[in-house]
């Protein structure tokens, strides 16, 4: 987080953050710097935090903190909410556990535990979440309605190219990542096809070409789902054990043996 003072960093990232890394265009190798006249990218970061104990045993309540400041766009999830999103195979949330090491901003011993246990959340369920997100990008790309999230520059680019090129790039990326995940059980967040995805983002592909590639990838995703050897669902029981262990470790609570009661 170069260029920010300690006070600014503390304003963006809450205390108790155990894992913090880049997301979005920087994580995927698709970042267009602000020096480019067509840049519409923020510096997106995501994290996981364990808030103070009164959030677990008292009246305080914290689920997530979102903050936009200058060119930084941050979201940090409370760890229980983060696990719930992981168990739903949320593509954006899962990506935090599969970053190259240099794209982590903060990685504590508890953060390491999250990364080391990422396979608990690997399942065929990802097909539905990745395809669902991709379909959402497809609809936004083509319906030619200016949404509230669009700044002036992005609206101008939509008018220039006749479709939302940023949505188009994310559409193709999500489908390819989903296919890879169903086939290999791994998320390749930093994209080897980053240059090609950037060319889509820069409007160098026609809308018809994007649609044809998307249709092809939707078919491949369905085939990958049918052939996938991944578990049908994440390992919820082990995920819960990990979550409890992490919270107790963080607050130095003496661990006791917990047994399941049917």
> pLDDT by residue (tens digit) across 186-221?
999 999 999 999 999 999 999 999 999 999 999 999
Mean pLDDT over 4-22 rounds to 93
Cβ neighbourhood burial of 216 (10 Å; 0-12, 13-18, 19+) = exposed
pLDDT band, very low/low/confident/very high, at 39 (cuts 50, 70, 90): low
State the pLDDT at residue 262. Answer: 45
C-alpha separations of 38 from 31, 75, 79, 160, 233 in Å? 11, 25, 36, 11, 41
**pLDDT of 98 strictly over 70:** yes
Residues 67, 74: contact at Cβ < 8 Å?
yes
What domains are there in the chain, each with its CATH number? 14-120+235-250 (3.30.460), 126-227 (no CATH)
Q: How many CB atoms lie within 10 A of CB 13?
A: 22
The pLDDT of residue 204 is: 95
pLDDT above 70 for 3 = yes
Average pLDDT over all residues of the chain:
90
Q: Give per-residue pLDDT as tens, 116-152.
A: 999 999 999 999 999 999 998 888 887 655 555 556 7
> Average pLDDT of 149-168?
79
Average pLDDT over residues 14-27: 94
Q: Which segment of 13-17, 18-22, 246-250, 256-260 scores lowest on mean pLDDT?
A: 256-260
pLDDT of residue 145: 52
Specify the DSSP class assigned to residue 20. Answer: E
Helices 126-142 and 207-227 sit at what angle, rounded to 10 degrees? Answer: 170
Question: How far is residue 73's CA from residue 101's CA, in Å, rounded to a whole number?
Answer: 20
Distance CA 26, CA 32 (A): 9
The string over 81-104, giving b where at least 16 C-beta atoms fall within 10 Å of a residue's C-beta and e elsewhere, is ebbbbbbbbbbbbbbbbbbeeebb
Band (115; pLDDT cuts 50, 70, 90)? very high
pTM attached to this predicted model: 0.88
| Contact (CB, 8 A) for 232 and 125 | yes
C-beta separation of 177 from 91 below 8 A: yes
Range 146-170 average pLDDT = 77
Distance (Å, whole) CA 49 – CA 192: 30
* Least confident segment among 94-98, 141-145, 187-191, 252-256: 141-145
């Amino acid at each position: 987080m170069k260029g920010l003072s300690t006070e600014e960093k503390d304003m963006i990232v809450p205390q108790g953050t155990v894992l913090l890394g880049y997301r979005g265009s920087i994580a995927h190798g698709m970042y267009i710097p602000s020096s480019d006249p067509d840049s519409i990218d923020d510096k997106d970061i995501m994290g996981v935090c364990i808030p103070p104990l009164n959030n677990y045993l008292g009246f305080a309540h914290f689920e997530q903190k979102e903050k936009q400041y200058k060119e930084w766009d941050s979201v940090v999830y409370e760890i229980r909410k983060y696990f719930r999103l992981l168990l739903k195979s949320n593509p954006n949330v899962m990506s935090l556990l599969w970053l190259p090491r240099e794209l982590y901003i903060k990685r504590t011993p508890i953060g390491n535990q999250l990364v080391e246990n990422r396979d608990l959340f690997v399942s065929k369920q990802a097909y539905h979440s990745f395809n669902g997100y991709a379909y959402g990008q497809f609809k936004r790309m083509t319906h030619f309605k200016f949404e509230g999230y669009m700044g002036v520059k992005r609206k101008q680019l939509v008018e220039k190219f006749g479709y939302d090129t940023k949505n188009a790039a994310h559409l193709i990326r999500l489908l390819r990542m989903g296919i890879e995940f169903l086939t290999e059980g791994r998320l390749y967040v930093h994209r080897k096809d980053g240059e090609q995805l950037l060319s889509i983002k820069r409007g160098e592909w026609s809308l018809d070409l994007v649609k044809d590639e998307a249709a092809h990838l939707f078919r491949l995703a369905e085939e990958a789902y049918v052939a996938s050897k991944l578990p049908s669902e994440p390992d919820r029981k082990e995920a819960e054990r990990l979550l409890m262990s992490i919270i107790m470790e963080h607050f130095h609570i003496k661990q006791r043996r917990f047994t399941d009661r049917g």
